[in-house]
Amino acid sequence: MIKEYKQLNELAVFGAVHPNAIDDGEKRKALKAINLIKEKRCSKIKVRTVTDGSQQRKYVSRDETISLTISLLALFATFIIDVQEGRKVQTFDISGAYLHAEIPKEEKVYMKFEGDFADIICEVKHEYRKFVTIEIDRRVLNIRVLMAIYGMIESALRWYDLFSSTLTGMGFEINPYDKCTANKILNGSQCTVGWCVDDNKVSHVDDDVIDMLVDEIEAKFGKLARNKGIKHTFLGMDIEILPDKKIIISTPQHIEEVVSDLREEIKGGVAIPAKSKHFYVNTKSCKLSEKKAELFHKLVAKLLWITQRSRTDLETGVSFLCTRVQESTEEDWTQFVRVISFLKSTRTDRRIMRADSLNSLDASYAVHTNMRVHTGGVMTLG
């Protein structure tokens, strides 16, 4: 927690404010601090301090909160272009991305730290100690938020505006069909940047050009977590670029999560995920219990995520299950278990995109964007 609070302090996310300078209305609007602790895929423990911005929905308009992320189609299209044109790829993560976006001075946003967390942040910045008050036997510290902290509902849009304007300031042109894809000609070849919040992908035929570009971004936003080469983890997908113009996409961790979350022993395997009467609805089947229905809904959503990214062979089975999440029955559960059984027995299968035809990508999307798509990709499993 101290490490996280030190980072927030170094980035000047907060500003001290005397309790008497905050009126009762502003105190009621103060956003509660929430501290999230998570074990990352690399086994490191990560702490992130966010705020509960749900109450902002009462007074912040929807237009101020909508942000953008790169579409899956655009991301796959850029990878296909990369292998077809022999581009090098680098992915990088901007640490604490939102925290680089300023909140306009005319806006007053306050955040509330309570109990032990008020004490911890005071350890990091002793100046705050004199502003701690007692509210119903709890120590409370209200401080002003100066940067777009995670949890505020408008933070994503503020970060998008900052990062996209940074790229356009560097001479990039935002793609009119995907607002999180940008292009620029560097050394006679196209350079493409795609991003989803703080995860970024950049490609160009020359590694040195990529390094100089990422160095420039790093100079503005601080030390970046970079990854070069043919293997990348991006937006939850493990992506490998092969020399024979193929891209392999897998989601092993998410598959393991679905199988383990089921908490039901699955015996044997099946040849296909959907049986012949998969779309038949048995109206006489008993409804699932509330707890089981909730698990059904949760895991079907995870299956849909996996299907769209790495396992298109599940599409028939999962598409029907998606229609049953509101009125799920024991018969639906049986079909759901069949899909999981198939997934478990084929968990090492991966999606392969081949950059030699345009069969599986939307041709109109490819032709009418400024991505300069020469060919698309066939998406198969292997």
Distance of alpha carbon 157 from alpha carbon 159, whole angstroms: 5
* Contacts of range 278-286, beta carbons closer than 8 Å, 24 or more positions apart: 278/316, 278/317, 278/320, 278/335, 279/320, 281/324, 281/331, 282/329, 282/331, 285/329, 285/330, 285/331, 285/332, 286/329, 286/330
Strand partners, 353: 247, 379
Range of lowest pLDDT (105-119, 126-140, 350-364): 350-364
Q: What is the tens place of the pLDDT at every residue in 299-351? A: 999 999 999 999 999 998 999 999 999 999 999 999 999 999 999 888 888 88
Map residue 182 onto helix, strand or coil: strand
268 is written with which tokens? 């044997």
Region 344-371 average pLDDT? 60
Sign of the CA dihedral 162, 167, 169, 174? negative
CB under 8 Å to 267, separation ≥6 — which residues? none
pLDDT bin (cut points 50, 70, 90) of residue 364 is very low
231 is written with which tokens? 């293997």
Q: What is the CA radius of gyration of the chain?
A: 24
Write the single-letter amino acid at 46: K
Q: Where are the beta strands (DSSP E) in 12-137?
A: 14-15, 31-39, 45-51, 88-94, 110-114, 133-135
Region 207-218 average pLDDT? 97
pLDDT bin (cut points 50, 70, 90) of residue 193 is very high
Region 179-194 average pLDDT? 96
CA distances from 178 to 78, 170, 198 (A): 11, 19, 17
Q: What is the tens place of the pLDDT at every residue in 151-161? A: 888 888 899 99
Which H or E run contains 53? none
Of 268, 269, 346, the residue nearest 314 (C-alpha):
346
CB under 8 Å to 272, separation ≥6 — which residues? 342
Of 350, 361, 306, the residue nearest 73 (C-alpha):
361
pLDDT bin (cut points 50, 70, 90) of residue 356 is low
Q: What is the largest CA-CA distance in the chain?
A: 71
Evaluate whether 166 touches 160 at the Cβ level (below 8 Å): no
Write the single-letter amino acid at 343: L
Distance of alpha carbon 224 from alpha carbon 226, whole angstroms: 6
Q: Give yes or no for residue 379 having a pLDDT over 50.
A: no
Which residue would you say has higher pLDDT here, 162 or 262?
162
Q: Which residue has the tokens 């992915």?
A: 91
Report the pLDDT value the prediction gives residue 43, as an integer from 0 to 100: 79
Report the pLDDT value the prediction gives residue 78, as an integer from 0 to 100: 94
Distance of alpha carbon 141 from alpha carbon 143, whole angstroms: 6
Q: What is the tens place of the pLDDT at every residue in 222-277? A: 999 999 999 999 999 999 999 888 899 999 999 999 988 887 777 767 888 887 77
CB under 8 Å to 176, separation ≥6 — which residues? 369, 370
CB under 8 Å to 289, separation ≥6 — which residues? none
Q: Give yes or no for residue 74 having a pLDDT over 80.
A: yes
In terms of phi and psi (left: phi > 0; alpha: psi -120 to 50; beta: otherwise), the region of 243 is alpha
Q: Is the pTM of this model over 0.85?
A: no
Q: Give yes or no for residue 124 having a pLDDT over 80.
A: yes
The mean of the pLDDT values for the chain is 86
Give the percent of the chain with pLDDT over 70: 90
Q: Give yes or no for residue 370 having a pLDDT over 50.
A: no
Which H or E run contains 1? none
115 is written with which tokens? 């109990």
Evaluate whether 235 touches 75 at the Cβ level (below 8 Å): yes
The full set of domain ranges for the chain reads 2-60+99-145, 252-345
pLDDT bin (cut points 50, 70, 90) of residue 59 is low
Region 357-380 average pLDDT? 39
Region 203-218 average pLDDT? 97
Report the pLDDT value the prediction gives residue 355, as an integer from 0 to 100: 74
216 is written with which tokens? 């420039």
Q: Give yes or no for residue 62 having a pLDDT over 60.
A: yes
Report the pLDDT value the prediction gives residue 204, as an integer from 0 to 100: 97
Q: Give yes or no for residue 202 having a pLDDT over 50.
A: yes
Report the pLDDT value the prediction gives residue 196, as an integer from 0 to 100: 93
DSSP assignments along 310-363, one per residue: T-GGGHHHHHHHHTTSSS-BHHHHHHHHHHHHHHHHTTT--EEEETT--SSS-H
pLDDT bin (cut points 50, 70, 90) of residue 186 is very high
Of 351, 357, 356, the residue nearest 379 (C-alpha):
351
pLDDT bin (cut points 50, 70, 90) of residue 36 is confident
